[in-house]
Structure 1
């Protein structure tokens, strides 16, 4: 029911009024309040908006989402003892009144989400003891101020920091013993991440390279990392991460630029079972001669790897039909545990065909191989099928995509089809579905 109609119903129904006062989410905009310009002055609309919201909040006891001016008095009304969730989208010039959280009446808050404001806690206080989830997006806060905020948040389980560009040094203290999820996304000034949280299970990072000091991360099992185009994410992951996070079981790497090939590797991911690599072009950062075959290095350093997924995002490349037919092979590189391989956005690049052939020749444990010529430029829906898109809409298929799909299909016929007899003996009755085109 629209907010305007709900308010009218509350005036004539005592039962609905009770429900209305406890409704968990309200969104206040000029549209939901029915405030149209129709020749009225902006000052009159602003005055009416403030008056209506003030009246609603004085008679309402649930959590509130606000996006307007004059919010100090509204927050005084909305943030009360017993409140469990605070979610605020604020004006960029707004300085959040930290005293609201530090006066002892907010120890019931379990979820705090702030967007687009300044947050300046100056001293450590005994507050937010029940906080389990903290999400800050475009919030102006320094590392020391964040430390003050977290100083008594012993119940914190999830911490998300996005576009917090005043952070330079992020320190996660050891007393956050329940913290299992950490996300740091595009904090442009960040230089150091130091974590002493003993039970961190999932770490997601995106942005420029930073100095990582992660202590004993024996519990870290999932790492999702993607650097800007300033660094080759795949090269960094295969050469550096095995010594930093040796206990990983799941690794997701997103790369927008790869400048090297055949990296020299040392340590191994001795527990890694799931590996996903997302390769996407950024301002031409990927060279047309990028060597997909170098991804074999990941297989070499992951002796117990079971699932290997590669997403290729429509990068320019030199087709195998215009390259030398001399195919590389490494018969001494055996991968005995790999069961499931998916290549999404399979193309006719010679090095990608070489990578696929290498897997077919040297993986005796393979159960499923999917090579799909369709790619998707959307971040969340990587396979361009209407049925899997969250929006329910099909993405545009360009002429270039269609032509490349035909080339990729021809490459499959010429270079992969020869493995079908061996696949038949390997998979038995599953041979017909072993390669999904």
Structure 2
């Protein structure tokens, strides 16, 4: 990429021999391509402002080669917040949506003008992550990304904009530069998926979120370099086949799948949410080093599947994401601790938590652990959090550190009308953390955030 930037700049410089010389300026004496590389480290708007510095710098910014991110104008972001606040006032909300669409069109025209001004041959990344209107020529943006040989491409045009990733554009020229592809609410056909896995030899990260995908996904190929795969809420997916020897990280949130992992010898990190019963029988599970399980749906068969876990003999970091202060959360912690004899760090992340319940749950299992660190995220002093900490203080003989994070990790889900919800009181949660600290021996580091 550095050579391409230098070549582009040299070609422009030969055309400007009549420009004034600035021999006394150290910046202007830098080797060819270096000023453009410096500008490419800046946001594109700041890089464009340097055009007023001198005649020589007037067009330097047009050879920008850094990442470009378009996630909506500041006005659009403010409007989006106001639209959500006006949900109960339908007429006001409709008027604000009309104004939002108008601002989106203005923002889109600015993007097209900016992209048309860029003369460089490469870009590190390109991100379009905002709601667009039906008149927007999104194919033009994707074609631009291919032409500029981007390394990272991220696409989200809104959940109401039906967009099919255009295979014919990808076939126009080779896309050997693509390393990361992140798609949300985008349709990926079977032919498109096959092309990405077989004809993009540098592709290492593929993230598909809320996207329409084939019923059967075959992640394989003779030259497949894929290291990270994320499938989030791709509801049409029914079967998943793997033959990916370079895959290191896998994340799945969704319903039941028919899975077949033929070869994933490098897989070390996995995240499962929704239904993951089918994954408990996979041979790769004992080889994982980092595992995250999301039980926020509290599906009985999913919780029961924790008791079927094999020995996770290589797990170093285990994270449980839960949303209830009851026996389910504490029981899940007990089952996971029992299955992980070599665990170094255990994280309990509580989402949508409530104040402590009166009913006290306890872990009845008694065994020693080699755990070094406990992390409680979204801490509010719930009984399962406190009981887990007390249990590990007694049974984790090598425990060295407890981290309490009282920040709310996510926005609470909407409650039913009339359901009581107490606002998140971080100061009160910190007081509960201090009460827990009194039970912690002085040789164990205690951190409260």
TM over 0.5: yes
Alignment of 1:221 with 2:262, yes or no, is no
Q: Distance in 2 between matches of 1:407 and 1:56?
A: 52
Q: Which residue of 1 aligns with 2:84?
A: none
Q: Which residue of 2 aligns with 1:255?
A: 295
Q: Distance in 2 between matches of 1:28 and 1:373?
A: 29
- 8 A contact 1:82–1:109 mirrored in 2: yes
Q: Which residue of 1 aligns with 2:339?
A: 301
- 8 A contact 2:380–2:406 mirrored in 1: no
- 8 A contact 2:250–2:271 mirrored in 1: yes
CA shift for structure 1 position 248: 0.7
Alignment of 1:364 with 2:397, yes or no, is yes
Q: Residue 207 and residue 154 in structure 1: after superposition, are their counterparts in 2 closer, same or farther (change >3 A)? A: same
CA shift for structure 1 position 222: 1.2
- 8 A contact 1:293–1:354 mirrored in 2: no
Give 1 or 2: higher helix fraction: 2
Q: Distance in 2 between matches of 1:6 and 1:226?
A: 42
- Of 159, 182, 191, the match for 2:238: 191
Instruction: Please give the secondary structure, in 2, of the residue aligned with 1:136.
Output: strand
Q: Distance in 2 between matches of 1:12 and 1:268?
A: 64
Q: Residue 12 and residue 167 in structure 1: after superposition, are their counterparts in 2 closer, same or farther (change >3 A)? A: same
Alignment of 1:330 with 2:365, yes or no, is yes
Q: Which residue of 1 aligns with 2:348?
A: 310
- 8 A contact 1:290–1:317 mirrored in 2: no
Alignment of 1:143 with 2:190, yes or no, is yes
Q: Distance in 2 between matches of 1:314 and 1:28?
A: 27
- 8 A contact 2:252–2:272 mirrored in 1: yes
Alignment of 1:18 with 2:59, yes or no, is yes
Q: Which residue of 1 aligns with 2:167?
A: 121
Q: Distance in 1 between matches of 2:187 and 2:433?
A: 48
Q: Which residue of 2 aligns with 1:264?
A: 307
What's the CA shift string for 1:155-200, capped at 9, x where partnerless? 2112122221244333222334321122222323222332222111
CA shift for structure 1 position 21: 2.3
Question: Structure 2: which 5+ runs fail to align?
Answer: 1-41, 76-100, 158-162, 412-421
Alignment of 1:278 with 2:318, yes or no, is no
Aligned length: 360
Q: Distance in 2 between matches of 1:344 and 1:26?
A: 30
- 8 A contact 1:122–1:148 mirrored in 2: no
Instruction: Please give the secondary structure, in 2, of the residue aligned with 1:246.
Output: helix
CA shift for structure 1 position 302: 1.1
Q: Which residue of 1 aligns with 2:119?
A: 61
Q: Distance in 2 between matches of 1:353 and 1:99?
A: 51
What's the CA shift string for 1:214-265, capped at 9, x where partnerless? 32222111112322xxx4x6xx49x816644321111122332224467433
Instruction: Please give the secondary structure, in 1, of the residue aligned with 2:271.
Output: strand
Alignment of 1:344 with 2:362, yes or no, is no
In the superposition, the TM-score normalised over structure 2's length comes to 0.63
Q: Which residue of 2 aligns with 1:181?
A: 228
Q: Which residue of 1 aligns with 2:35?
A: none
Q: Residue 161 and residue 95 in structure 1: after superposition, are their counterparts in 2 closer, same or farther (change >3 A)? A: farther
Q: Residue 158 and residue 376 in structure 1: after superposition, are their counterparts in 2 closer, same or farther (change >3 A)? A: same
Question: Structure 1: which 5+ runs fail to align?
Answer: 33-41, 63-80, 281-285, 380-396, 425-429
Q: Which residue of 1 aligns with 2:406?
A: 374
- 8 A contact 1:107–1:129 mirrored in 2: no
Bigger Cα displacement from structure 2, 114-123 vs 199-208: 114-123
Q: Residue 14 and residue 353 in structure 1: after superposition, are their counterparts in 2 closer, same or farther (change >3 A)? A: closer
What's the CA shift string for 1:332-378, capped at 9, x where partnerless? x222x2111122344555444443332222222222234x3724143
Q: Structure 2 matches for 1:404-419, cutoff 5 A?
A: 412=436, 417=439
Instruction: Please give the secondary structure, in 1, of the residue aligned with 2:368.
Output: coil
What's the CA shift string for 1:83-142, capped at 9, x where partnerless? 66454468464676599869xx84944333333332232699572123222222222222
Q: Distance in 1 between matches of 2:229 and 2:434?
A: 41
Q: Which residue of 2 aligns with 1:388?
A: none
Instruction: Please give the secondary structure, in 2, of the residue aligned with 1:343.
Output: strand
What's the CA shift string for 1:249-291, capped at 9, x where partnerless? 11122332224467433511121101122223xxxxx475544
- 8 A contact 2:185–2:209 mirrored in 1: yes
Q: Which residue of 1 aligns with 2:285?
A: 245
What's the CA shift string for 1:55-80, capped at 9, x where partnerless? 76665314xxxxxxxxxxxxxxxxxx
Instruction: Please give the secondary structure, in 2, of the residue aligned with 1:309.
Output: strand
Instruction: Please give the secondary structure, in 2, of the residue aligned with 1:145.
Output: helix
User: What RMSD in Å do the two structures reach over aligned CA positions?
Assistant: 4.7
